[in-house]
Structures are given as C-alpha cells and as structure tokens.
Structure 1
Amino acid sequence: MLHVDVDVILPVLDEARALPWVLGRLPAGYRAVVADNGSTDGSDAIARGLGAAVVGEPRRGFGAACHAGLRAARADVVCFMDCDGSLDPADLPAIAGPVLRGEADLVLGARRADRGAWPPHARLANRVLVWELARRGGPRLEDLGPMRAARREALLDLGIQDRRFGYPLEMVVRAHRRGWRIAEAGVPYRAREGRSKVTGTVRGTVRTVRDMAAVLA
C-alpha cells in the first residue's frame, strides 16, 4: 500500500466559516498548512485550534500566500486547494496520487461545477485563458484548476515570481517549459461558503484575468 505524506497548502483570507469543514475532511496522511494572508475573523486561531500548521503572510496577494505555504511545507509532495468550501479535501488523493506514484509531475483538478457554483463570467474567463495558453504553445488544458499537486522542491526550483492571481498560471507555464508531465483529473466544485474575494464578482475576475494575462505576456 502506498504510504501517504502530503502537505496541503491552504491560502486563507477570512475563511472562518469554511475552515472547520475543510480541515475536518482532510484524508489520513494529508496535513494542513494554512497560509493566512491577514485575516481579521480569527481564521488563524481557528486553524491552529483544529491542528493545522499556520504561517502568516502579511504581504497581500493570493500568490504570496501560496508561496509562503509552499516554503513552510515539509512533505515531498504538496497540494494546493482553495479553503472556501468549494472543493472537497476528500478528493485530494485523486490529484496527489499520480504524483506520489511517479506518473505525473503536476496534476490539476478540472472542476465539475454544481449549478450556480461557478459564476458565468469566471467560467468564461477561465476558458479564454486556457485557450490562450494553448494558442501560445502551452499545454492543452480543460481548467486552470485551483486544486493541484506536485513535488515541493521541484516547485520551488521553478522560480515562480508572481505573488498575485497570476501565480497558478505561472506555475503551469514554467512547468510546461521545463518539460513536466502535466495531467488533469475531474473534481466536484460546489458553491463556496460566503462571498468569493476573487472570482465571485466581476471586479475580482477582471483582477484575476489581468494578473494572468501579464504572465502570458
């Protein structure tokens, strides 16, 4: 039986409502590394109380939180996952498995969204970015999925520079240029807890597209 030792990096900004559910559904062998990006709702204390490792990242930015979590992680294989309740940690083995078995270098969770879970403007933006990535010679993907897995040291070696919303796309671009084996696996995607600070609003989606377009440029 395959031994599992995986750190799950959870970028967090005011996710007190979702944290108990997310942390409570981590599979055996998966350890939470909460990267708190300046929460004011006690998210960091809740995470510690539930047994998660917590690292603070005062520099605002999704990528800044992700990278702080990556640096704080200790396992050879790491996962990234949104901590808003839209993704189920119980699905992590389907993403981490190919990396643990040496079958892939980077695995992305392609979202299978419940009705109303993925706003149309955010879904459209994702499709455009995926299409543009392929048009520019990148990998042909279904989704720039927020649930993903790879080996920690290899990710650090990529030298990802973006510290905003372009971080996930830059990871894919740099991995592709290094010749990584990139795979996808379908994962359910449900309505998040509370209002999204990223793609739940048109303004948030525009910010995300702007940052990702800068990476493509």
Structure 2
Amino acid sequence: MTKLIIQIPCYNEEATLGMTLAELPRQIPGIDQVEWLIVNDGSSDRTVEVALANGVDHVVSFARNQGLAHAFMAGLEACLKAGADIIVNTDADNQYCAADIPRLVEPILQGEADIVVGARPIRQIKHFSPIKKLLQGFGSWVVRLASKTNVVDAPSGFRAISREAALRLNVFNEYTYTLETIIQAGRQGMAIKSVPIRTNGYLRPSRLVKSIPSYVKRSLLTILRISMTYKPLRFFAVLGSIPFSMGFLLGVRWLVLFFLENGTRSRAPSLILAAILILIGFQLWMFGLVADLMAVNRKVLEDIQLRLRRAELNSNQKER
C-alpha cells in the first residue's frame, strides 16, 4: 500500500489555510492513502483550529517560531514516522495549484525521480516584479551549476519527495530549505526532476522574501555554505588560487624589474605583498585539504544517521 502525506508548514495562516486545505486531494491515481499534515511553527492565531476543522490528520507544533527550514524538516520526520512513502510539500497561502499534485508525484511512482520540483510559470506571474523574475531565473541557474541538476525553479516549495530521499536529507540553513535540499540532493546523486505546475491567485506577500537584496544575500550565502560543505577542496582550491596567482604574478614582475634594473631598486613593498598573497593562497589550500578530510567524517556520520533513521522507522512499522 502506497501512502502519500501532504505537509504544509504554517505560521499564522488562519486566513488562507482553509482555502488551501479545501483544494487538497484525498484521492490520487497510484496512491492508496492520502493524508494531510501541518507544521504549526509557533502560530499565535487560530491556525491549528482551522486545520483540525478542515480535516487535517496530523499536527506538529512548535512552542515558538523556528523558521521555515526547521518546520520543513520537522514535517519530513513526522511524515516518515506516520509511514509516508511519498511526501508532498506545499505552502499554506494557496500559491500552488493542488490539482497538479498527481503530476508532481508521477515521476516518483514511475521510479524516474527521488525528488520532483514544481516549476512555476515565472514569466506569467503578474505580482512578480521584473527584477524578481530576473533574480529567480539567475538564482535557479546558479543552483543548477552548484547541484549539477536541471531544476528549472529552484526556490519553488511545491515538491514531492520519496521516502528514501527524505531519509537522506538534512538542512543546516535556518532561513529556507529550497536551495539547500536541491544542492544536497544533487551532490548525493539523487535523481531530481522538474515538472511544470500552475499557480493560484495572489493572496498575501511572501514572508520569506521581505526584500530582494536580503533574499539575494541569504541565497548566495546558502549556496556558498553548501558548496563548502560538499566540495570543500574544490571550493578552497579555487578561492586560494586567486591570491596565490596575484602574488605569483607580482613576484614575477618583481624579478623581471629586479634584473632589468640590475638591483638598483629593491621594490621591497611589492615583494612583501607578493609573499603575503602567496601565503594566503597556500593557507586557503591547506584549509581545503583539512576540510576535505573532515568531509570524510561527515559522510560516515550521514551513513550512520541514515541507518538509524531506517532502523527507527522499521521499528515503528513493526509496532503497528
């Protein structure tokens, strides 16, 4: 029997949650059982009451607001414990068209993907400003490079995740999960696919994107951090090559001038700067080597965590 659980992270969503839940399906082709779960991320309004009144099967609550990334991961954990074979994540503001959920889960049912990300028609969304549309496209392109995947709409929160993929995912960033999970999944060799989906009307401003500059800064920091985590040697090798190359070229320039002028001018400042730059580059390379060795321990810990998660889930299933 295949069980699908639709999870919705919520923070003060009483105004839109009822509308979102009303459109969620209870029957999907290829799925035997569909359940709903919300993660109440420290809401101070009637979010939980609205959810229960509309037939939500599971509620996970935080005493205080923990942020979208924590809510997403808590939802995955709760869905796995509830026996989900496939997890669909959507937003509480009814941004995504729930009728496209069958399209979202189809590649997983067919064994073609571990994670499926819904690609919004960005250019057709009227409330997105031209600069936001441009940045969405640029951000997705950067994530494709970092993750080595073909994800069209990286910031999209409308996605389906197989049980195996959910077991392997970890989110370190406290801001959002969207970019990090794609890069992480791509680095771990998971199959990721994009499918076109529709969006509904605009109901409220995004709580995640409070300002374009802030979102861009946070997104870039997330990409850099994940790159350092999963490819530390390459990251620091590239970073260290910049000052090392500058120092090397400056040193060559010093040597050329020294011999052309027969040592009449010492040009000590140039020589000192060249030495400093070369030393900085070398130190960054050493950081990369140490980080790469530490990454081996991280991989071992991830394998241990995966085995523990599987053992816990198998234990829960036997108890049932």
In the superposition, the TM-score normalised over structure 2's length comes to 0.61
Q: Which amino acid aligns with 1:149?
A: A
1:197 aligns with 2:207: yes
2:162 is matched with which residue: 141, 147, 151?
Answer: 151
Q: Structure 1 segments of 4 or more deviating over 4 A?
A: none
Of 91-100 and 53-62, deviating more is 53-62
Q: Distance in 2 between matches of 1:203 and 1:169?
A: 17
1:77 is matched with which residue: 82, 86, 89?
Answer: 86
1:37 aligns with 2:48: no
Structure with the larger RCO, 1 or 2 (CA within 8 Å, 6+ apart): 1
Contact 1:169 1:215 in 2 (8 A): no
The structure whose residues are more often helix, as a share, is 2
Q: Which runs of 5+ in 2 are unaligned?
A: 28-33, 229-320
Contact 2:10 2:39 in 1 (8 A): yes
Q: Distance in 2 between matches of 1:204 and 1:56?
A: 28
Task: Say what the alpha-carbon RMSD is for the aligned residues.
Answer: 2.3
Q: Which amino acid aligns with 1:184?
A: S
| Higher CA-based Rg | 2
Contact 1:11 1:36 in 2 (8 A): yes
Partner of 2:102: 93
Q: Distance in 1 between matches of 2:18 and 2:173?
A: 29
Change (3 A) 1:181 1:211: same
Q: How far is 1:211 from its partner?
A: 5.2
Contact 2:147 2:187 in 1 (8 A): no
Number of residue equivalences: 214
1:186 aligns with 2:196: yes
Provide, for residues 83-140 of structure 1, a one-character-per-residue CA deviation record: whole Å limited to 9, x for no partner: 1111121211111111122121111000024442334443333222222123336213
Aligned-residue sequence identity (percent) comes to 26
Q: Distance in 2 between matches of 1:168 and 1:88?
A: 18
State the secondary structure of the residue aligned to 2:149: coil
Q: How far is 1:81 from its partner?
A: 0.9
Q: Which runs of 5+ in 1 are unaligned?
A: none
The aligned runs of 1:201-216 (5 Å cut-off) are 201-202=211-212, 205-206=215-216, 208-210=218-220, 212-213=222-223, 214-216=225-227
Partner of 1:54: 59
Partner of 2:141: 131
